[in-house]
Structures are given as structure tokens and as C-alpha cells.
Amino acid sequence: MNPLKKLVGQTAIYGLSTIIGRLMNYLLVPLWTYRFPDPADFGVTTEFYAYTTFLNVILTYGMETALFNFSAKSNRNPAVYRTALFSLILSSAFFLAGMTASVQPIAEMLRYPDHADFVIWMSWIIALDALSAVPFARLREQQRAKRFALLKTLNILFNIVGNLFFIGLCKWAYDTNTTGWLAWSAQFYDPDIGIGYVFIANLIASGLTILLLLPEFIEGLGWPDLPLWKRMLVYALPLLVAGLAGMVNETMSRILLKYMLPVETAMEALGVYGACYKMSILMTLFIQSFRYAAEPFFFSYYKQSDARDLYALVMRWFVIACSLIFLGVMANIAWVQYFVGANYRSGLGVVPILLMANLCLGVFFNLSIWYKLTEQTRFGTYLTLWGSAVTLTLNFYWIPRYGFMGSAWGTLACYASMAVWSYLLGQKFYKIPYDLGRMIAYPLLAVAIFLWGDKIEGLSVALELAAKNGLVLGFVGVVFVLERKKA
């Protein structure tokens, strides 16, 4: 099969499940923002899930990429999977023990002294998700995309059902004091838990997913190869540092908002920013779907003589797709804004900035293949540490002055600078013939068309949407003409 078509096919399978599943999951945002109209409530989930991303990176510590690397270079030796799985089981057990022993001090440190239960629920979610990481990576490595997609979709469905039950049904029955045949459901809602039911639903979903992964766990049971474990850790630990720095880039702004804005407005701003951050969903979903398929794909083709030309071709079409997503979302923001409750829409200005930031992040991911293939993973650490420095510096300077808008611009500056540095270093150590002109031109054209469309005024909503989407079609036409000549 043509390798590019194969990548597209794998991305489509991962993407279909991810897009359908995540879209369903993101549809919970209207449920949360309309059921809990105070943005401070949504700020709680935004904050906790920001911490979760850090801890997920710590508890997986690069073992997924280590599995791909060592398995590909040892003809899929089963000891690689067995060793990676043992490593995560051990570290997750230690994490849970430590969190359980110190849950109350942690809750007080986070300013939730009355909600130590939130901390313990999230600890279990993090541990269970870490345990499932290597079995899911195993499915990707074996290119069993359909089973991977099925289990990921079921995980999201479990989470959705839990949210609809506790927040959709039980909260409604409690708030309305209903006396009908659904009155029984009110007894399952406790207002003291409130937004915490988001965590309960997630915990149930994570637990059920572990049960569904039992065949993969049984396959990997056994004593690890200790010398191999050491080599895998040496390879993976720089990726852990890089991953942590990456999480600083992705989530630190949401954490800093709570502590750098006035106490009386901080949680509200955090909730607004967190809800509007979700509106970059399509870009996030595409990049995540692409990553699921691309990482094992890149490793599997690295020995081919035309691998570098293939990587360059993948990059060009990736940038085109992301530019089109950016335009599609912004052309339809007039109705996309109803994705969140009315009290959250004051943050819509961050959406185009975050969409473009995610495009830069996707470009960086594509570029990162050079240091993974050459086993110079320390450069991943250096690059993400650079990004962390940019993130922290700009957030500390801009948040007190511009609030969450400063956070959004800091995120864009971070990812754009990381992509630039990765490109320059990659061309030195593992030169790939990227079409730099088009990599830059397509996003700039998308931004220019967005700004042009943003000036359209004085029309009805329907005509305005038609005009802006007409500009999107114009972008597609330009791509068709240029890429046809390129071919």
C-alpha cells in the first residue's frame, strides 16, 4: 500500500473514533456550563485536569515511545512490552500509596480543604489511565487501530453516560424537586459534591476501560528484562523531562491564572478560559488523531530510502489540513459560540489564538521525528524546556496585565518558537526536505482570510456565515491550484 495512503487510513480510523468520541465528550461542556452557570465551578475542573496532565506525563515517563523504539529495533521482542507494562504497574502502585497517605495536606495546599475526596478520585483516575497507556501503545504498535478505536470510544461513552446520569438527570431531579417517576434519581445527587461528579464519572470510565484491556494485560504479564528496562529508562527519561516541560507549555497558564489574578475573580477567569479553550476542539482532535497514527508510522518507515521525502510530504499536507480547520472554526464562530453557556462567552477572543497555537504544536510534533529516530531525545528536552521558559516568562508578565488573553498569546509564542528551533536543529542533524515556504504561507494565508472575513459587517447572520464560508472555499481553491502544480 502507498505509505501516505496507509498513514491516512490509520489516521482516519484513529480519527473517526477520536473525533466521534471526543466530540461526544466535548458536548459535555454545554452540559457543565449550562448546569453550573457560575464559571468558578467550571474553574475547579479546569484546574484539576491541568494538574492531571502533569501527573499523567510523570506516571507514563516516556514508556510509550520507548516501546515503539525498542520493539521496532528488536523485531517486536515480547520482552519489550512485558518490561514496559511491569514498569508502569510498579510506578502506579507507588503513586497511589503516596497520594492516599498525604491526601488531606495536598487538598489544603490546593485550597480545597473540604474536598480531599476530589484529590483521591483524581489520583485513582491518573493511576488507572497510566496503567492503560502501555496496552494502548501496544495496540498502536501492532497497528490494531480498530480495537484501539473501539476501546477509546467506549471509555468516552462510559464517561458521557456517567455525566448524563449524575449531572444531567440526578442534578435536575434534585434541583427541581421532581415528584414524577424519576424522583428516585435525586437521591444520587449531593450538592456538596456538585461539579465533583465530573470526576466520579471519569473514575468509573477509567475503571471499566482497565477491565476491557484485560487481554492486553494478560499478554504482558511476566518478569521484566532488567537490563532492557534500564536501557528503556535511559531512552525514556529525557522524554519525561520533555513531556513535563510540554505540560508546562500546555497547562501552566490555567494553573497560574488562579494564583496570579485577584482572588475574587480568579476562578471565574479560569472557568471562562477553560471553557473557551475547549472550543479549539477540532484542531486538538485532528492533531491527536494524527499523532496516534504518525508516531508508529514514522518509526516503521525510517529505514526506507525515501523516508525523508515522505516525512516532508506528510508535513505539507498536515499544515494544509490544520490551516483549513482554523478557517472552518473561525468562519462559523457565530454559532460555535453556543457551545458554552452565556456567562463563558467573554473569552471568545482566545479561540483564534489557541487554534493557531495548536497548529504550531502539531508542526513541532512532526518536526520532532528527527531526534526520536536518531535517539537524540535530549534535544526534545532542550526544546520543551525552552518552551517552558517562554511560557512562564510571558505568563508571569502578561497575566497580571491582560488576564487570560495574555495566557493565550503566551501559548502561541511558546509553540511557534519551539517549532522554529526544532526545524533549525533538525536540518543540521537529520535533514528533511521540508517545503518551508508553503509551511509558512498556508497558515499566514489562513490568518489573512480570517482577518478579512472578520471585517464583514452589516449582513444577516445567515449571509455573514455564507460569505465567510465562501472565503474558506477560496482557500481550498488556492490549495488545489498550488498543490496540483506541485504534483
Q: Closest Cα partner for 44 from 130, 114, 127, 128?
A: 114
Per-domain residue ranges of the chain: 3-486
- Quick one: 191 exposed, middle or buried, by C-beta within 10 A (0-12, 13-18, 19+)? exposed
Whether the per-residue pLDDT at 126 is higher than 60: the answer is yes
Residue with cell 482577518: 451
Q: What pLDDT is attached to residue 291?
A: 76
Question: How many Cα atoms sit within 13 Å of 269 on the Cβ side?
Answer: 23
Q: What are the tens digits of pLDDT across the range 414-446?
A: 999 999 999 999 998 888 899 899 999 999 999
Q: Closest Cα partner for 14 from 143, 195, 113?
A: 143
Q: Closest Cα partner for 415 from 244, 246, 241?
A: 246
Q: What pLDDT is attached to residue 9?
A: 64
Write the CB contacts of 357 (distance below 8 Å, at least 6 apart in sequence). 408, 411, 412, 414, 415, 416
Check: CB of residue 66 under 8 Å from CB of residue 236: yes
How many Å apart are CA 465 and CA 426, to the nearest integer?
A: 41
C-alpha cell at 56: 499523567
Q: What are the tens digits of pLDDT across the range 306-331?
A: 788 888 888 999 999 999 999 998 98
How many Å apart are CA 471 and CA 462, to the nearest integer?
A: 14
What is the distance between the terminal CA atoms of the chain, rounded to a whole angstrom?
Answer: 19
Q: What mean pLDDT, rounded, does the chain reach?
A: 85
How far is residue 326 from each of residues 14, 301, 352, 364, 448, measured CA to CA in Å? Answer: 21, 30, 7, 17, 12
Q: What pLDDT is attached to residue 121?
A: 95
Q: Give 2's pLDDT tier (boundaries 50, 70, 90).
A: low
Alpha helices, DSSP H only, in 73-115? 78-101, 103-109
Can you give the pTM of this predicted structure? Answer: 0.69
Mean pLDDT of 178-192: 87
How far is residue 11 from each of residues 278, 362, 415, measured CA to CA in Å? Answer: 22, 14, 23
How far is residue 377 from each of residues 233, 321, 328, 369, 374, measured CA to CA in Å? Answer: 12, 28, 35, 10, 8
* Sign of the torsion formed by the C-alpha atoms of 176, 180, 183 and 185: negative
How many Å apart are CA 165 and CA 143, to the nearest integer?
A: 35
How far is residue 64 from each of residues 74, 88, 93, 219, 232, measured CA to CA in Å? Answer: 16, 10, 18, 16, 10
Q: Give 448's pLDDT tier (boundaries 50, 70, 90).
A: very high
